[in-house]
Chains A and B, each alone.
Chain A
Amino acid sequence: MNKNVRKIVRQTNLLVGGCITLFVITVAIFAPVLAPFHPVDDADLMVSEEPPGAPYYLGTDIQGRDILSRVIYGARISLAVGLVSQTLNTIIGVLFGLSAGFFGGRWDDFVMGLTNIMLSIPALVFALAIMALLGPGLINVFIAMGFTNWSFSCRITRSQALAAKSLDYVKAARALGYSRIRIMFTQVLPNIIGPILIIGTLGVAWAILLEAALSFLGLGVQPPTPSWGGMLSAAREQLFTAPWISIFPGIAIFVTVLGLNLLGDGLRDILDPHTQTQIS
């Protein structure tokens, strides 16, 4: 009984997380169709700080722009940042981790040393430093976040590659005369894709939160581009007079990140129940 209940709960994670994520992706793709107004150009100071109500269902901001439309378009920015930066992180982490675990020796020492240093610099601080260096902007956000959070993928990939090295299928591939590079990418990588996918999904969630934080500090995506963090940053001044400006972009971030976290949890439960205690 207990086990069955847990099984259902697990499926729920995956189901709810998957649905939320799919919903956000759909909104992002069809933003021009869904948004009733243009997120930037439809600014009308005559309707500045309108409370929620038709035709502005979530109200307007201080420049009289429709918040619903800006939230809808904001999904594009958040997802783009999450996906692009996490893809970069995954590629770097997997390349380092796979080669370190597989080749061992000095290269492994070097990669592990680098990973440990990366782990001791909090990603937010690192990203802040890089944003300071490059200046605000979307492309720079990709760079600042895409190169600073690969240590988790690297560690997981390395340990998995290390374990896979002594398994029969790798020995068999070697006996067949496959080159080491070929074994790494065609034999080992497909077999360890599960944990990488889980870390990746959770990483996207994390990246969306970090981008929002950077934009909130004024170092992320710049106005008038509708980013959720940036909207919240601008809304701070009107918190007391027009709280709705602060509420809806926050809900958007929260729901998106929640969906991705649930999806990551669900994937973890299905793909490898044993790592549950290792990564949280």
Chain B
Amino acid sequence: MFAYAVRRLLQFIPTILAISLIMFVLLNVLPGNAALMARGEQDTGAISTKDIEAMKREWGLDKPLWYRYAVYLKGLAVGDLGKSFLRREPVIQLLKERVWPTLKLAMVAMFIAIGLGVPLGFYSALRQGRVADTVTMIGAVSGVSMPQFWLGLLLMYFVSVKLRLLPPQGYGGGDFKHIILPAFTLGIGYVGLLARTTRAAVVEILTLDYIRTARAKGLSELLINQKHVLRNALILVLTTAGLQFGDLMAQTVIVEKLFSWPGLGSLLVDSIFQRDIPITQGCILVIISTFLLVNLIVDLLYGVIDPRIRASYK
């Protein structure tokens, strides 16, 4: 299993390289001029062409694209992601400050999604075709169809402004109260998605032979559900949750903006507006790496859940 994990980690390298190349080329043909943006004196003529040239030199923007990419890769190999155009700080420093709030938000949201979605889907599958099933599934498809930021706005209005139960926005030094609304806003779509996935998986498993066998040998329904159904359904649920984690990390962009959450997402959006390309690249890299890593963890978890898969890790 260890060898398998290492092999998978090595496979990340070409993926990250390909993605970094795509993003690098894409972002570096940006029309906005960072040198001008840096001074905030666009079009006023207050900044001379000479100054702009000097700034371009300072950031290496006068070099050809392939050279800049090579320099970028060289830095990347030793964990140096360059320097922010505007803040003049190393990107890695800025990212470090922002990673934890985003990860925390994403993890709490995923926790809500799994904690609510899986039991709901399971319950729905066991009550197949009855009212409870229909109601749950209507709820689930509504959750999937809900624009997150709108839900966030509504929650802010009703929970914070009207009922004054929770703070409407901000990080609050990372306390529990401040994370509830953003995490719920972020998680609700995934609650719906996981409920639907779980239900579909359980419905299918319930028709399989080994369930009939388990019933035939007189196992209680509770034991069947615990030992056979849940365990087999978990594989599919985990896959879905893993694949959705990247999406969830990306969606933090919106939720963080809405709730003024000091994470990667808001940093990413700000850097895009400010044309601060090193930061944009760094944020995207972190989001994608997290996604790849989470999926590796999911893959390894398969082995824990399913002995058949464990046997195949050679």
Contact = CB atoms under 8 A, between A and B. Distances in A.
B147 A253 contact: yes
Contacts of B196: 280
Contacts of A209: 145, 147
B145 A120 contact: no
B175 to A, nearest CB: 23
Contacts of A254: 142, 145-147, 150
A232 B154 CA distance: 11
B141 A217 contact: no
Contacts, number: 139
Contact of A265 (B23, B141, B201, B247): B141
Contacts of A212: 147, 149-150
Given A217-B254, A277-B236, A122 B246 contact: yes
Nearest to B21: A117
Contacts of A270: none
Nearest to B240: A280
Interface stretch (B35-43, B46-54, B210-218, B283-291): B283-291
Contacts of B249: 122
Interface stretch (A22-30, A37-45, A168-176, A235-243): A235-243
A84 interface: no
B253 A257 contact: no
Contacts of B268: 125, 128
Contact of A250 (B15, B141, B147): B147
Interface stretch (B26-34, B81-89, B302-310): B26-34
A253 B249 CA distance: 22
B129 A6 contact: yes
Chain A interface SS verdict (over half)? helix
Nearest to A258: B145
Interface string A240-280: 10010011011001100110011001000000000011001
A128 B150 contact: no
Q: How large is the interface on A (under 10, 10 to 19, 20 to 34, 35 or more residues)?
A: 35 or more
A130 B154 CA distance: 30
Contacts of A130: 26
A86 B237 CA distance: 27
Contacts of B236: 277
Contact of B150 (A217, A253, A258, A277): A253
A125 B129 contact: no
A102 interface: no
A133 interface: yes
B193 A280 contact: yes
A269 B95 CA distance: 45
A2 interface: yes
Contact of B153 (A6, A236, A257): A236
B128 interface: yes
A168 to B, nearest CB: 29
B193 A129 contact: no
B154 A246 contact: yes
Nearest to B200: A277
Given A124-B251, A129-B280, A258-B145, 4 more contacts: A117-B22, A213-B149, A216-B149, A277-B201
Interface of B: 15, 18-19, 22-23, 26-27, 29-31, 128-129, 134, 141-142, 144-150, 153-154, 156-157, 161, 193, 196-197, 200-201, 204, 236, 240, 246-247, 249-251, 253-254, 257-258, 268-269, 272-273, 275, 280, 284, 287-288, 291-292
25 contacts: A2-B128, A6-B129, A9-B134, A120-B19, A120-B246, A121-B288, A122-B249, A123-B247, A125-B253, A125-B288, A129-B272, A130-B26, A131-B272, A205-B145, A212-B149, A217-B253, A232-B147, A232-B150, A239-B153, A239-B157, A250-B147, A254-B142, A254-B146, A257-B147, A261-B141
